[in-house]
């Protein structure tokens, strides 16, 4: 079945560091990928929709200059948390679906980000 | 904006008891999906419902989509310890590509 790979799985770094997370669709093309954030014992909150070849669409309250998204190819989207601070510590998960709208999303394994 | 609420937030059941979680959207949905997330894991797709009033079964799991396409339910018959996890519904508005997740129901099964 479809597989989405997310890397790295865990990051621990100092405050002020920028962290890049990669999301790859391994056996299908994804014109759209999604980035979610999940705090402990809470639901997934959609941060932004990553569109191949164009600017990402950010949800209300998500700073686009803080969370940089690049979707340069049909199989890769990256999320960069710039100048991360402890409040950015969270579980970040990407998802993607085949081009056809309405297909179920397949999730990466997630990245647990801890900012000291 | 779109809101998707789930009740209950938590549910503890004895193994063998039934379990139901309800999902309610503030807007009409084009389809609804259900996911299961184990502690420390990522959401895993269970099923998608598209048609008004649709009912689908997967072994002990029964999924239903409301007639108005604004609510849905997941029922588990005779729970097992392997059913432990958080169950999320996720809805997509008509014409939209993004998916909004419900608040989730965390299920604990006591052996």
Q: What is the pLDDT of residue A15?
A: 96
Q: Return the residue in B30, B97, B100, B102 with the most chain A beta carbons within 10 A, the one to mutate for interface testing.
A: B97
- Chain B residues in contact with A58 by the CB 8 A cut-off are none
Least-confidence region, from A8-22, A57-71, A89-103, B45-59: A89-103
> Is any Cβ of chain B less than 8 angstroms from the Cβ of A13?
no
Q: How confident is the model at residue B1 (pLDDT cuts 50, 70, 90)?
A: low
**Cβ separation A43–B104 shorter than 8 A:** yes
Nearest CA to A22 out of A94, A81, A91, A78 is that of A78
Residue B49 CB neighbours (<10 A): 22
Q: What is the pLDDT of residue B60?
A: 97
Phi, psi of B109 (to 5 degrees): -115, 120
Nearest CA to B43 out of B92, B99, B5, B110 is that of B99
pLDDT at A44 over 60: yes
- Candidate from A45, A49, A107 with C-beta closest to B43: A107
Q: What is the pLDDT of residue B77?
A: 98
**Cβ separation A49–B31 shorter than 8 A:** no
With tokens 């969370």, the residue in question is A67
Q: How confident is the model at residue B106 (pLDDT cuts 50, 70, 90)?
A: very high
Please give the average per-residue pLDDT across A10-25, as a whole number. Answer: 95
**Cβ separation B30–A43 shorter than 8 A:** no
Structure tokens at A60: 């209300």
Q: Return the residue in A43, A62, A97 with the most chain B beta carbons within 10 A, the one to mutate for interface testing.
A: A43
- Chain B residues in contact with A93 by the CB 8 A cut-off are 42-43
Q: How confident is the model at residue B2 (pLDDT cuts 50, 70, 90)?
A: low
Average pLDDT, chain A: 89
- Tens digits of residue pLDDT in B43-87: 898 999 999 999 999 999 999 999 999 999 999 999 999 999 999
Nearest CA to A38 out of A109, A105, A97, A93 is that of A93
DSSP code of residue A97: -
Query: Is the separation of the CB atoms in B66 and B52 below 8 Å?
Result: yes
Q: Which residues of A80-97 are buried (b: 16+ CB within 10 A; e: fewer)?
A: ebeebeeebbbbbbbbbb
Q: Give the C-alpha separation, B9 to A24, whole Å.
A: 32
Please give the average per-residue pLDDT across A51-77, as a whole number. Answer: 90
Closest Cα in chain A to B98: A49
pLDDT at A60 over 80: yes
SS percent in chain A: helix, strand, coil, step 5: 5, 50, 45
CB proximity under 8 Å: A 77-116 to B: 93, 95, 101-102, 104-110
Closest Cα in chain B to A49: B98
- Per DSSP, the three-state class of B83 is helix
Residue A79 CA: distances (Å) to CA of A26, A33, A66: 17, 11, 10
pLDDT at B29 over 80: yes
Q: How confident is the model at residue A73 (pLDDT cuts 50, 70, 90)?
A: confident
């Amino acid at each position: 079945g479809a597989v989405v790979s997310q890397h790295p799985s865990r990051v621990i770094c100092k405050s002020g560091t920028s962290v890049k997370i990669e999301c790859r669709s391994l056996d299908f093309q994804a014109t759209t990928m999604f980035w979610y954030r999940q705090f402990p014992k809470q639901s997934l909150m959609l941060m932004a929709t990553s569109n191949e070849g164009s600017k990402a669409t950010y949800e209300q309250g998500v700073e686009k200059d803080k969370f940089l998204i690049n979707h340069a190819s049909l199989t890769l989207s990256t999320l960069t948390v710039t100048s991360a601070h402890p409040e950015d510590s969270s579980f970040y998960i990407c998802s993607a679906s085949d081009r056809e709208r309405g297909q179920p999303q397949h999730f990466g394994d997630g990245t647990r980000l801890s900012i000291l | 904006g779109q809101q998707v609420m789930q009740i209950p937030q938590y549910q503890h059941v004895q193994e063998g008891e039934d379990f139901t979680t309800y999902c309610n959207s503030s807007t009409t949905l084009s389809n609804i999906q259900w996911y299961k997330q184990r502690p420390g894991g990522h959401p895993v797709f269970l099923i998608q419902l598209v048609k008004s009033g649709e009912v689908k079964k997967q072994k002990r799991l029964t999924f239903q989509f409301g007639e108005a396409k604004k609510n849905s339910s997941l029922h588990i018959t005779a729970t097992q310890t392997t059913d432990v996890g958080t169950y999320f519904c996720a809805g997509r508005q008509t014409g939209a590509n993004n998916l909004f997740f419900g608040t989730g129901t965390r299920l604990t099964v006591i052996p």
